[in-house]
Amino acid sequence: MKNIIYIISILSLFGCAKEEAIPVIVDFDVEIFNDDFSIPVQVVFINKTEGGEDYEWIFEGGTPSRSVNRNPGVIQYDQKGIYTIELTATNEDGSRDTRIEEIQIDDPVIVDFEATNLVDNFSPAAYSFQNNSSGADTFLWIFEEGTPATSTEQNPGEVVFTEPGDHIVILQVSNGRETYEQQKTITVAPFLESDFDVDLAFEDDDFQIPARIQFNNNSVSATSYEWKFNGASTSMSIEENPEVIFNQEGVQTISLTVSNGKETKTISKQIEFFKNTNLRILNDIRFGINTAHISNTIGSFYSVADRKVYTAEEITSDIEKRIDLTFFGLSDTFTRNRFVSPDALLGTTFDELINPKKTIFINSQELCSCSASLTVAEFDSMPDDTLLESLLIQETSGGLQDFDDTLIPRIVLFQTQEGKKGAIKVKSFIRDGQNSYILTDIKIQKENR
């Protein structure tokens, strides 16, 4: 009987023992998905609860608005506002805990601005700035080399840039949690500069009047131009690049005044013009012998209008119409040489030209018995075309005779199809095998009088 009582007592003792319940401590972290605070905002909740087994999440204003998962995944908020997040956790011991937090969803922060040039971009250049940003409540403007250099106003008003070149403008906006930045470049034009150069017409490159001049305006940051000319057919012009004919010899002054509405600058240059001698002087013209011309080393065909010697390869249907002088040198021995009219190439090694010009030559004054005569001294001292104009250059059989290299220098007279009279001074005979040539100076009338 005693043993039975003992057992009952033991059971009674254990039956009165009380188990201690496991507590629930709710905790969680909030992270913005991809750090993107722009609506829609996606939020990740990380459950750090201890002792919990069952969970209930309530997301005010969120999608989804409820979850019973330990970690509910991504919750999306589509509207600006302050919303509560509530997490309740329980376990089988009956423990329970709840935590409520608030989350603030802001409008997306967008940074944007416009820069407006108030007058023009010549220094000093004034700009206004329109702030088109949204979702921000603080602003910081930075104006590189501007006045003012910075501003915290939403719209900073007028900013002036003086130094030419590119200037960076930066706008930083923030809503207290996020900061965004945009930058743009303001370009201030270079300081005003007045400058020009000239191009002479090809036929006027000796500066003899009348001379036609094309002025090339090289000014910088200019919007208006005022030219003044001395000794010209016009005394002024407001064109950007005028063409002017000068008809007075001597040193003439040309002035260019430019402006851009903020500055005005003037530059003056002088050009010397000379009396019209009606004489074109061409020095060191080389005429190749026939092999040099045909092998395209040194040409034998010359155009007075182009002032150029052409080789056989360079002759085209257009160029051959402009050939005035043709030299035929048989070989590098220079025993047989003559200038030949472009329309009389038969009997030479040159191909005949189509629609050629006719030029009269006197190759050998000593054998010609012609009335036309010009000495080397007269050629060298010729101040104008008076001597040439007085010559009666006629085609004679004696004038077409060959010459050799025994007489140096030699004067060859000619008259072009247009009636321009001229003289060739053969200065030297250069032996270089098939590339041999004669070196000459030429004087010819600019216009037939």
CATH 2.60.40.10, domain 113-188, yes or no: yes
pLDDT confidence of residue 334: 97
Whole-model pTM?
A: 0.69
Tokens of 57: 């999440």
pLDDT confidence of residue 157: 93
Intrachain domains 113-188 and 206-273 with the same fold: yes
Kindly provide the b/e burial profile for residues 220-246, where b requires at least 16 CB atoms within 10 angstroms of the residue's own CB.
Answer: ebbeebebbbebbeeeebeeeebebeb
pLDDT confidence of residue 32: 83
Taking alpha carbons only, the member of 352, 331, 349 closest to residue 429 is 331
**Can you name the residues that pair with 169 across neighbouring β-strands?**
143, 184
DSSP line for 232-245: BS-SEE--SS-EEE
Contacts of residues 6-13 at CB distance under 8 Å and 24 or more positions apart, as own/partner, are none
Taking alpha carbons only, the member of 448, 446, 449 closest to residue 209 is 446
Element (H, E) at 12: helix 2-15
pLDDT confidence of residue 38: 66
CB atoms within 10 A of CB 15: 7
In three-state form (DSSP H/G/I as H, E/B as E, the rest C), the secondary structure along 303-360 is ECCCCEEECHHHCCCCHHHHCCEEEEECCCCCCCEEEECCCCCECECCCCCCCCCCCE
- The topology under which CATH files domain 28-105 is Immunoglobulin-like (2.60.40)
pLDDT confidence of residue 177: 81
pLDDT confidence of residue 291: 97
- The topology under which CATH files domain 206-273 is Immunoglobulin-like (2.60.40)
pLDDT confidence of residue 17: 47
pLDDT confidence of residue 398: 65
pLDDT confidence of residue 117: 95
CA 279 – CA 383 distance, rounded (Å)? 8
CA 197 – CA 269 distance, rounded (Å)? 9
pLDDT confidence of residue 107: 79
CA 50 – CA 97 distance, rounded (Å)? 10
CA 176 – CA 228 distance, rounded (Å)? 64
Helix/strand/coil for 387 = helix
List the chain domain ranges.
Answer: 28-105, 113-188, 206-273, 279-445
CA 293 – CA 345 distance, rounded (Å)? 14
Write down how long the chain is: 449
pLDDT confidence of residue 19: 65
Instruction: Give the pLDDT of the chain (449 residues) as one tens digit per residue.
Output: 444 444 334 344 444 445 688 999 999 999 887 777 667 889 999 999 999 899 999 999 989 999 999 999 899 988 888 899 999 999 998 899 999 999 888 778 899 999 999 999 999 999 999 999 998 999 999 999 999 999 999 999 999 999 999 999 999 999 888 899 999 999 999 999 999 999 999 999 999 999 999 999 999 999 999 999 999 999 999 999 999 999 999 999 999 999 999 999 999 999 999 999 999 999 999 999 999 999 999 999 999 999 999 999 999 999 999 999 999 999 999 999 999 999 999 989 999 999 999 999 999 998 888 889 999 999 999 999 999 999 999 887 766 789 999 999 999 999 999 999 999 999 999 999 999 999 999 999 999 88
